[in-house]
Structure 1
Amino acid sequence: MIQQTNFEVIIVGGSYSGLSAAMSLGRSLRQVLVIDSGLPCNRQTPHSHNFITQDGEKPAVISAKAKLQTEFYDTVQFYNGLAVSANKTDSGFEIRTESGKVFTSRKVLFATGVKDVLPELDGFTECWGISIIHCPYCHGYEVKNETTAIIANGEMGFEYAKMISNWTKDLRLLTNGKSTLSLEQTKMLLKNNVTIIEEEIAAAEHQNGNIQHIIFKNQSKIAVKAVYFRPPFVQHCPLPEILGCELTEQGLIKTDIFQKTNIPGVYASGDSFTQGRSVAMAVSSGSFAGVAINKELIDEDFN
């Protein structure tokens, strides 16, 4: 049970980015509280890759080890629960949890990530993060040279197909309706043996999340081993916007180079502010945010 209610820094979000920031701040002798509801966006992904010393490890194992190591520092405390409101006060910030617990701090870091908005297609959610994937740097090696589909259209579809062709030449671009590719883009894709399919998608046929076929609304289907897809997303936590934090056109929290938002004292890290969605990048941005926050606290107190 946490008795202390006032901290120097509250971190909302206790996954890779939040834990990394907590370690940086805890080692800087800051009184830190991490509030986490326990729903990381990659909770269905079986393995994490492209992160040295942790390549191929289960995401839950990485976060559990990170939390255990962060708990070593008595300057860091944890609260398991959902933060539901955030307010600016004369001395900093007030964060209220779903259970009614109220905590205050001088600074706040949002490491809350984003929530993918998946299409309402049978089998899609079950395959997400397993065989329907978004990042070739995270998962491409494991499905290299396999029969692969890409769900995208227009400029994004062209660039996505061009990128994925580095990992496999057996590619189908599914535009999920009429293609909006330019004539030049279409010719270039066909020249590089990318099949373009304009049928609307109905479902993903799979076994335990491992995709087998994409089924179209006309009842035809194609066999695939992997699918790349970049879904739209929203902020996982509404509190940054409630506090007045600006978002970019892409829906990410807008920050400066020090990961400070437009609201003084509020920072962002991890997937909530960058399109670089990987465990390694989340850890890096969390560590950087911790350093930046500590520097601001030092500057304020050294007078």
Structure 2
Amino acid sequence: MENQQTFDVIIIGGSYAGLSAALALGRSLRKVLVIDNGNPCNAQAPESHNFITQDGETPFAIREKAKAQVNTYATVHFLEDTVTDAAVAGNSFTVTTKTKGSLSAKKLLFATGIIDTIPNIEGFAECWGKSILHCPYCHGYEVAGKKLGVIGNGDMGFEMAKTICHWAGELTLFTNGTSTLSNEEVLLLNSHNIKVVENEICAIEHNNGFATQLTFSDTEPEYIHALFTQLPFVQQCSIPEKMGCEFTEHGFIQISKTMETSIPGVYAAGDCLTLFRSVANAVAAGNKAGATINKQFIAEAFALEKVKA
């Protein structure tokens, strides 16, 4: 990176959404800095799917290829660092990192993702992203026709069991404790050959992260090939909240149609915005954010010219 401390845009987060935004902005001749600490939420996933031209590639390989392509644009710079603070500074923003210190940008884009809250079940963490999965569109095809399970309860468990049903050869909904489903919901699941098991899960046995069976305290183990679930999460970066960005009731950063947060000049893209977590969706969100940020620069330039005239 050049000895340049002021940028048109600083992008915090250099995975799919951040790199996609950087590409759009680099091609728009904007001076961009991408700051990333190398901690993507899908680091453990062995493959990525449902992203055209890259289906079956590793997440790491997709990111590295994307970064190499973005790096060919002279106005885009990269910094391996962790952002510790960001603040409004007049008509711009100040960003502070652990090692580089203070940097300035006219606009900010948060592409920082989320952190899944792993339950205290033995073997769960090792299987997460490998055989305990969050997205059937990303991973359902690879386990189709197998004995599958859903870990969930209430509305989430019911809806996910319905979603997974046609991928599974055999499907069980594990509520991991007393079911909160209605009798009608249980009967409907049963009518589609979906069992509901209420026993508390003690452990998930596995081979290098690939599940083999679930064990319970008071019943026999159940063989399983893969599991699907949705986990509670926290935002990977707390800075948008500290800056005063508004959030949705589900804990995602609130944005407008132009990807702008409640703070003018601060934008967001990727998994920090939505439950629909996929590489393809993150790339699309980053592309849109980059384009709308560039459009805002154009609008501001022409508004200034109008005032001068």
TM-score, length basis structure 1: 0.98
2:254 is the counterpart of 1:254: yes
Shift of 1:100: 4.9
CA distance in 1, matches of 2:91, 2:246: 22
Shift of 1:149: 0.8
* Aligned counterpart, 2:193: 193
Shift of 1:275: 1.7
* Aligned counterpart, 2:9: 9
Shift of 1:2: 4.1
* Aligned counterpart, 2:104: 104
Contact 1:2-1:79 within 8 A present in 2 as well: no
* Aligned counterpart, 2:82: 82
Contact 2:44-2:130 within 8 A present in 1 as well: yes
CA distance in 2, matches of 1:233, 1:161: 20
Q: Deviations over 1:160-207 (max 9, x none)?
A: 111101211400100011111111101111111111100011111001
Q: Secondary structure at the match of 1:165?
A: helix
CA distance in 2, matches of 1:136, 1:187: 24
RMSD over aligned Cα atoms: 0.9
Task: Give, as a single letter, the amino acid of the residue that structure 2 aligns with 1:89.
Answer: A
Q: Secondary structure at the match of 1:272?
A: coil
* Aligned counterpart, 1:26: 26
CA distance in 2, matches of 1:85, 1:152: 36
Q: Secondary structure at the match of 1:172?
A: strand
Of the structure 1 ranges 270-279 and 12-21, higher mean CA displacement relative to structure 2 is found in 270-279
Shift of 1:220: 2.9
Shift of 1:219: 5.7
* Aligned counterpart, 2:51: 51
Gaps in structure 1 of 5+ consecutive residues: none
Contact 1:93-1:105 within 8 A present in 2 as well: yes
Contact 1:11-1:35 within 8 A present in 2 as well: yes
Contact 2:131-2:225 within 8 A present in 1 as well: yes
Contact 1:169-1:193 within 8 A present in 2 as well: no
Contact 1:84-1:98 within 8 A present in 2 as well: yes
* Aligned counterpart, 2:120: 120
Q: Secondary structure at the match of 1:271?
A: coil
Q: Secondary structure at the match of 1:30?
A: coil
Contact 1:211-1:226 within 8 A present in 2 as well: yes
Q: Deviations over 1:137-171 (max 9, x none)?
A: 00000000100110011122111111101211400
TM-score, length basis structure 2: 0.96
CA distance in 1, matches of 2:21, 2:146: 38
Aligned 1:101-180 pairs, distance under 5 A: 101-180=101-180
CA distance in 2, matches of 1:240, 1:162: 35
Contact 2:160-2:229 within 8 A present in 1 as well: no
Gaps in structure 2 of 5+ consecutive residues: none
